[in-house]
Amino acid sequence: MSLTKTVGFFAGTTLAIGGAAFGAEQNNDALAQIAELKAQIAELKNSQGDQWLTEQRATEIRGIVTDVLADADTRSSLQGSGAGAGYNGGFFMSSADGNYSMKVNVLEQIRWTFDDRSNAGDNDQSWGFENKRTRLTFGGNMVDSSWSYKLAYYFAYSNDVEFDQDSPVLADAFVAKDLGNGLSFTVGQFKLPFSGEYGTDAGNLQFNDYSTISNAFANGYGQGLMMTYASDAFRGAVAYVNALNSTNDEFASGSPEDEFAFAGRAEFKLSGTWDQFNNAMSFRGEEMGVLIGGGINWSDSNDPTTGDIFGATADVTVDFGGANIMGAFYWDNVDNGTSENPYGFTVQGGLFVSDDVELVARYEFGDADSAALDNEFSTATIGANWYLAQNTAKFGANFGYAFDGIGNTWGFAASGNNWLQDTAGEDGQWMVQAQLSFSF
């Protein structure tokens, strides 16, 4: 072995042995330090248990909670302390004390109709889709829980049965004050109290629309004042307005349209709940209910061609919890130079064959008590409703047959159900109709 190799061998061996010794010394020092730390931890645990760790965690948690509360206060200051929002029979916003609130509701009805008439030329058969109703409603409280308001606006409404103007049109626009003990006072524009069927919201009807007889005799809307009273078994209302069936009036020379116009209604609930009679049908699971109602109207017109009107109605509704029947009778005395006494009645009902499917039938008759060729109105309608989510989402399909010709006397009121006017002497008109209704 050369001298160089020999020196290198001994140098390498020496370094290796020294490194091992140095590493062993370092490991020994680390082990000694670890042992010392373990002893200190054990001493802390023996003297304080786990309290030192718990206090540390508590301090950290208190810091986190403080930060979260500060952030929540910041957010609350931006939206009003304790303000709420969500959905409960409508989309709502409310202050913490409930004195100010707003609920938003939507009604959307899309309809398809096929109608067959005789001797109407190229229009013997008519069919098509229409946006029957698109309505947006705002309601809630203001000032305090005793004050309420309602605004309803039709963006689309394909007939003019209810309103003086074509859509878009303002419907409800009123403020009400709860006076306590069941009494309340309303001022503005509202549905007039008279007909039980017309008092039901369009989204809660058993058929696709109000009956023609109800459209013909009901008072529609009016502008003025109304007093209402409600108790466990009785409720009633009386209104004083500019005129019956008159909306969005403007003050002008000759106002109002009538010297006076009154409308009122009273209802007696023999059994059941008031809420169940807000719907025209009786769903399975609801309790037995009986409601008897009646109404009157009286107006003295400034227009001699319109005539003075005194009218009355009476109706009975029976809910069986899965089936129901309703009957209503209407009568008017019209004095416009001659005295006429038109009258009419409606009978309708439904039977649920499952929780979501209802079979329905309706017959209505009217006599105009005039010399017109279309003096009488007589139709029968049968159909079915499929409730996808009760009245929130439903599909209704029906078939209707008109036994008498539909002329000028009844044509306007019948347009709500899409009946078309016949030529003189014709009868036998029939119709198929389907409608999707969403009310939320």
Q: Domain check: are 152 and 74 in the same one?
A: no
Residue-by-residue DSSP string for 123-183: GSEEEEEEEEEEEEEEEEEESEEEEEEEEEEEEEES--SS-SSPSSEEEEEEEEEEEETTE
Of 79, 114, 136, which marks where a domain is finished? 79
Query: β-strand 258-271 against 289-301: which pairing, if any?
Result: antiparallel
Residue with tokens 């109207």: 297
Q: What is the CATH number of the domain that holds 389?
A: 2.40.160.10
Same domain (yes/no): 23, 151: no
Q: Would you give the distance in Å from CA 160 to the centre of its chain?
A: 22
Asked whether 162 and 154 are in contact (CB, 8 A), the reply is no
Instruction: Check residue 142 and give its pLDDT.
Output: 95
Q: Are residues 47 and 167 in the same domain?
A: no
68, 36: one domain: yes
Tell me: do 143 and 291 sit in the same domain. Answer: yes
Helix (H) or strand (E) holding 19: helix 3-48
Same domain, residue pair 289 and 378: yes
User: pLDDT tens digits for 219-245?
Assistant: 899 999 999 999 999 999 999 999 998
The verdict on 72 and 90 lying in the same domain is no
pLDDT value at residue 354: 98
Distance, CA of 213 to CA of 416 (rounded, Å): 11
Query: Are residues 159 and 68 both part of a single domain?
Result: no
Q: Which two tokens stand for residue 357?
A: 């499917």
Q: Are residues 39 and 170 in the same domain?
A: no
Q: Please tell me the distance from the alpha carbon of residue 291 to that of residue 234, in angstroms, as a whole number.
A: 10
| 101-116 and 125-142 beta bridge pairing | antiparallel
Which residue range forms the structural domain that includes residue 48? Answer: 3-79
Q: Which of 12, 44, 79 finishes a domain?
A: 79
Query: Which tokens is 68 given?
Result: 């979260």
- pLDDT in the model for residue 91: 93
As a whole number of angstroms, the distance between CA 426 and CA 407 comes to: 9
Same domain for 255 and 301: yes
Per-residue pLDDT, 307: 77
Tokens 């629309």 label which residue?
209
Within 80-107, residue ranges assigned H as helices are: none
Q: Are residues 284 and 167 in the same domain?
A: yes
Q: Which two tokens stand for residue 432?
A: 């198929």
In the chain, the number of structural domains is 2
Q: Which of 62, 79, 96 marks a domain boundary?
A: 79
Per-residue pLDDT, 14: 38
Residue 50 shares a structural domain with residue 20: yes
Residue-wise pLDDT for 348-397, tens only, equals 999 999 999 999 999 999 999 987 767 899 999 999 999 999 999 999 99
What is the distance, to the nearest Å, from the Cα of residue 389 to the centroid of all Cα atoms in its chain?
A: 13
Which residue ranges in the chain fall short of pLDDT 70? 1-63, 65-83, 121, 159-160, 164-166, 373
